[in-house]
Amino acid sequence: MTNDAPAPAMPKLADFLCFAVYSANLAYGRAYKPILDALGVTYTQWIAIVALWEEDGLTVGALGERLFLESNTLTPILKKLEVLGYVVRRRDPADERQVIVTLTPAGRALREMGAQRTLVQASGLTPDDFRRLQRDVTRLRDNLIQSVGHAAADPEPA
Amino acid sequence: MTNDAPAPAMPKLADFLCFAVYSANLAYGRAYKPILDALGVTYTQWIAIVALWEEDGLTVGALGERLFLESNTLTPILKKLEVLGYVVRRRDPADERQVIVTLTPAGRALREMGAQRTLVQASGLTPDDFRRLQRDVTRLRDNLIQSVGHAAADPEPA
DNA sequence: CCTTAATAGATCGTACACGATGCAATCGTA
DNA sequence: TACGATTGCATCGTGTACGATCTATTAAGG
C-alpha cells in the first residue's frame, strides 16, 4: 500500500451528477430499444421525426438547434431517413445553401404509431415526479449549455 | 395543409424525459470537454479511472457493472488507458478468463488532478438541488434498468 | 461587377455504445 | 477424468457524436 490516506474529500462515482445523467441515458437507450426496433428506427432517427412532427419543413440547422446536434451528425441520419421513406430533403430554392427537411405521410404515420408506446411506466415515477424531473433535467441542460457558451465567449475566464 | 387537426394528445419533444436526459448528456459532454482535454482523456476513460480509484483491482466485468458497460465497450478503452500508462491489465492467475485492471501511480495522480475541477457551478444548482437531482436521476436509471431486466426475464409480457 | 468574407451542409477521422459472434478457460456431471 | 455447458473477455459491424475541414452559395464592400 503506497497510500494509506487516499485524500478525504474525493467524491465517489455515485455522487457525480454527470454520471447519473450518463448512465440514465444508457438505460433509456436500452429501455427504448425494443420499441424502436419494432418501429425500425434508431433513437436519434426517432427524435428527429418527433421534432419534425412538431414543426415540419425545418432546415438542417434549425432541426439541429432543437435536437442539440450539428450537421455532421444530422446529415447521415436524415439521409437514412430519406432512404427509409420517412422524410424528404430538398434545397431551399430561395437559398440553395439550405436544405429543408419534410416528413412524408409514412413519417407522420410512424410518429403516430410510436405515440402509442411510452416509457412513463418504466420510469417508476408518478406523473407529478415525472414532470418535475423532466423540468429539472431540462434546466440543468440549459444551464450547462449556457456555461459552455460563456466560456467560449469569454477568452479569459480565470 | 393536408392535416388541420394533428391529433390532440401528441406530446412535444420538450415533454419527453428521455430527451431531457439525452440532451443533458450531450451538454455534459461539451461542458466536460475542455477539462478532459486538459487531462488528455475522454469522458469514458475518465469515469473508468474514477471507478478504479474508488475500488481498484476490479475485473473487466466488475468494472462494467459499475459503469453500466459491457466488455465490448470497455476492452478498447482499457487498452488505450494501458497504452497511456494509467492502468495495468493482467489475467487473474486463479482464473485466467478474468482480466484484473489496476490503476498505476500515474492513473492515481490523474484522478487527483481531475478532482480539482468540477462542474457543480456550471450546473447552476444549489448544493441541495444538485444532490436531490443526482438522487432522482439515479433512481430513474435504476427503475429503467429494472424494467428492462423484467422484460428480458419475462418472455411473454403482453 | 468583382473580390472577399460569411454561411449552410456535407465529408472525414476518431471514439464511444452495443448486438452478434468467437475463443479460451472453467465448471458440472456422469 | 472426459466432455458438453457456461463464463469472461475480445473482435467485428453498425450507428451515432463531434472536431476539423471542404464546397457551394450568398452576402458585403469597394
Helix, strand and coil percent figures for chain B, each rounded to 5? 65, 10, 25
Backbone angles phi, psi at A116, to 5 degrees: -70, -35
Question: Which among B25, B120, B45, B39 has a CA at the least distance from the CA of A29?
Answer: B25
B37 touches chain A (CB under 8 A): no
Residue A82, C-alpha cell as written in the block: 430519406
Per-domain boundaries in chain A: 22-114
Q: Which residues of B touch A133 (CB under 8 A)?
A: 17, 20, 133, 136-137, 140
Which bases in strand C are touched by protein, i.e. have an atom under 7 Å from a CB?
A: 7-13, 15-21, 24-27
Partner-chain contact B26 A51, CB within 8 Å = no
The reported pLDDT for the residue numbered B25 is: 98
Min Cα distance B100 → chain A (Å) is: 17
Give the angle subtended at the CA of A33 by the CAs of A32 and A34, to the nearest 5°: 100
The CB density around residue B19, as the number of other CB atoms within 10 Å, is 25
Looking at the structure, give the CATH architecture of the domain made up of residues A22-114. Orthogonal Bundle (1.10)
CB of B27 closer than 8 Å to CB of A148: yes
Strand order in the sheet with B95-103: B58-59, B95-103, B87-92
B10 touches chain A (CB under 8 A): yes
- Give dist(CA B125, CA B143) in Å, integer: 24
Closest alpha carbon within chain B to A64: B23
The reported pLDDT for the residue numbered B89 is: 98
Question: Which among A120, A31, A28 has a CA at the least distance from the CA of B150?
Answer: A31
The reported pLDDT for the residue numbered B150 is: 59
B113 touches chain A (CB under 8 A): no
pLDDT band at B156 (very low <50, low <70, confident <90, very high): very low
Give the nearest nucleotide to B91, CA to C1': D9
Q: Is the CB of B73 under 7 A from strand C?
A: yes
Per-residue pLDDT tens over the stretch B135-153: 999 999 999 999 887 554 4
Mean pLDDT (chain B) is: 89
pLDDT band at B122 (very low <50, low <70, confident <90, very high): confident
The reported pLDDT for the residue numbered B154 is: 39
The reported pLDDT for the residue numbered A156 is: 29
B109 touches chain A (CB under 8 A): no
Closest alpha carbon within chain B to A150: B122
Return the sign of the alpha-carbon dihedral for residues A142, A143, A144, A147: positive
CB of B48 closer than 8 Å to CB of B65: no
Residue A41, C-alpha cell as written in the block: 428506427
- Cβ-based neighbours of B127, under 8 Å, separated by 6 or more: B120
Q: For the purposes of burial, counting CB atoms within 10 Å of the CB of B98, is it exposed (0-12), middle (13-18) or buried (19 or more)?
A: middle
The reported pLDDT for the residue numbered B64 is: 98
Q: What is the pLDDT along chain A (158 residues), one digit of tens a residue?
A: 444 444 456 889 999 999 999 999 999 999 999 999 999 999 999 999 999 999 999 999 999 999 999 999 999 999 999 999 999 999 999 999 999 999 999 999 999 998 777 777 788 889 999 999 999 999 999 999 998 875 544 432 32
The reported pLDDT for the residue numbered A21 is: 98
Give the nearest nucleotide to B76, CA to C1': D10
What class does CATH assign to B30-115? mainly alpha
